[in-house]
């Protein structure tokens, strides 16, 4: 019943995906490798930075849902930390690039020469003039329309422009290129954004975005003939010191007697993966999303939460949060303190690596009950202060990546479902 809450070094998480396995049946698996986190005061600054980006990201995601007519592609990113960076090869001959793997956006884009403005990145910038397979996309093509909400230049070439909630931006040409993973699997004529004007809070570790969303421009959709519209990932705990995994195609099937699945709900925009949240339990105390004074509990609204790999925290409706906070407050025997920056509603004093003991927390999706890892529930935001990573939201609900750790999570766009298998991701082959 009692669980140990460890300090989570959120914004120091970096993952590089490199091809580690392929198969002959259209599936492939890649490693997610994380770097060493900062220590001392730097780790707490990193935590706060990642937390702030979670709120900025939520605002950006919400603006995409509420906006009915826009004149630019609207995507989302995290900043320097809490991100998953996917290694891929682009062009002929292939050039290695690193893009943030993001289920909250569609278009893959990378920085390109010549640069009107480019932020500093560790790897060489992609030079389309040196690639034999680079082809600009015309404005009247279906590929241009699939890129989101593009616009045309004077030469009828398809252009894109992406703006972010933190005033970061990218703009450039929509084109097709050969995309490969580890030099073993090559996909020709993949639509991507070749960014010539990019600036803001981007990390120099990455060169752009790899969109894993549900829209037409996503590589999940573009590679569907090979992958069957399936991908999965398994995020290890932060102290695991081993790689995580992301898989596509036949390698991405999540199966077994202990697997639970919940329907994907089709809503606009189709980029996001909408699930149906019914409630959250602390031990035996369950807080429902919908209730009735007459005692009849109507079904929760379909598609009331999105699952997102790029958001650190988990955001839920106020009525859910209040019930969970009250139940945890009753279950946890510890000294309550106030978050000095006023971000979190439930915080406790910790010392000397001491954890927080609590009843287990279970998230109830339609058809799938998920027990949240103890290390996912609380984060040490300042030395000696640990806070609940569940946050109340008045608008958009998001199931963030901390709550997803140590679950093998499979997305199947053909069956229209997301499957979860509780596992030790450090041991996943």
Q: Any idea which residues carry the catalytic annotation?
A: 102, 308
The C-alpha angle with vertex 245 and arms to 243 and 251, in degrees rounded to 5, equals 150
Asked if residue 275 lies in contact with residue 418, where contact means CB atoms within 8 angstroms, the answer is yes
Question: Omega before 114 cis (within 30°)?
Answer: yes
DSSP assignments along 203-252, one per residue: -TT--EEEE-SSSTTSHHHHTHHHHTTEEEEEPPPTT--S-EEEEEGGGG
CA 345 to chain centroid: 24
Asked if residue 77 lies in contact with residue 99, where contact means CB atoms within 8 angstroms, the answer is no
Give the 3-state secondary structure of residue 279: strand
Q: Tokens at residue 235, please?
A: 């995020």
From edge to edge, which strands make up the β-sheet containing 398-399? 274-275, 305-307, 398-399, 314-317, 390-393
CA 180 to chain centroid: 22
Query: Can you list the positions of beta strands (E) in 289-342?
Result: 305-307, 314-317, 336-337
DSSP 132: T
Q: Tokens at residue 102, please?
A: 């993001």
Taking the C-alpha atoms of residue 86 and residue 340, their distance in angstroms, rounded to an integer, is: 35
Asked if residue 405 lies in contact with residue 375, where contact means CB atoms within 8 angstroms, the answer is yes
Give the 3-state secondary structure of residue 47: helix
Give the 3-state secondary structure of residue 130: helix
């Amino acid at each position: 019943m009692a669980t140990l809450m460890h300090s989570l070094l959120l914004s120091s998480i970096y993952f590089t995906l490199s091809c580690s396995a392929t198969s002959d049946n259209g599936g492939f698996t890649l490693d997610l490798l994380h770097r060493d986190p900062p220590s001392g005061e730097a780790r707490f600054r990193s935590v706060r930075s990642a937390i702030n980006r979670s709120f900025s990201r939520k605002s950006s995601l919400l603006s995409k849902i509420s906006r009915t007519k826009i004149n630019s592609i609207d995507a989302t990113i995290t900043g320097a930390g809490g991100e998953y960076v996917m290694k891929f090869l682009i062009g002929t001959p292939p050039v290695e690039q690193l893009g943030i793997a993001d289920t909250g956006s569609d278009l893959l884009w990378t920085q390109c020469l010549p640069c009107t403005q480019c932020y500093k990145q560790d790897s060489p910038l992609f030079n389309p003039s040196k690639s034999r397979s680079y082809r600009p996309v015309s404005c009247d093509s279906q590929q241009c329309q699939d890129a989101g909400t593009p616009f045309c230049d004077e030469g009828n070439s398809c252009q894109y422009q992406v703006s972010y909630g933190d005033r970061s931006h990218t703009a450039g040409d929509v084109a097709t290129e050969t995309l490969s993973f580890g030099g073993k699997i090559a996909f020709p004529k993949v639509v991507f954004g070749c960014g010539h004007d990019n600036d803001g809070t981007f990390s120099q570790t990455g060169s752009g975005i790899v969109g894993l969303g549900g829209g037409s421009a996503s590589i999940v959709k573009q590679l569907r003939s090979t992958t069957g519209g399936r991908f999965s990932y398994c995020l290890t705990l932060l102290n695991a010191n081993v790689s995580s995994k992301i898989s596509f195609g036949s390698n991405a099937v999540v199966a077994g007697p202990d697997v639970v699945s919940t329907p994907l709900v089709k809503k606009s925009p189709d980029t996001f993966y909408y699930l149906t949240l019914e409630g959250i339990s602390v031990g035996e105390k369950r807080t429902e999303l919908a209730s009735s004074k007459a005692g009849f509990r109507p079904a929760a609204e379909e598609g009331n939460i999105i699952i997102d790999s790029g958001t650190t925290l988990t955001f839920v409706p106020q009525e859910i949060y209040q019930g969970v906070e009250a139940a945890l407050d009753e279950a946890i025997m510890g000294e309550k303190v106030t978050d000095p920056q006023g971000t979190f509603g439930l915080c406790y004093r910790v010392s000397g690596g001491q954890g927080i003991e609590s009843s287990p927390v279970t998230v109830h999706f339609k058809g799938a009950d998920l027990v949240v890892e103890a290390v996912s529930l609380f984060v040490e935001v300042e030395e000696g202060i640990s806070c609940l990573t569940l946050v109340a939201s008045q608008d958009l609900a998001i199931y963030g990546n901390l709550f997803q750790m140590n679950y093998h999570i499979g997305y199947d766009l053909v069956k229209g479902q997301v499957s979860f298998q509780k596992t030790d991701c450090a041991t996943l082959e």
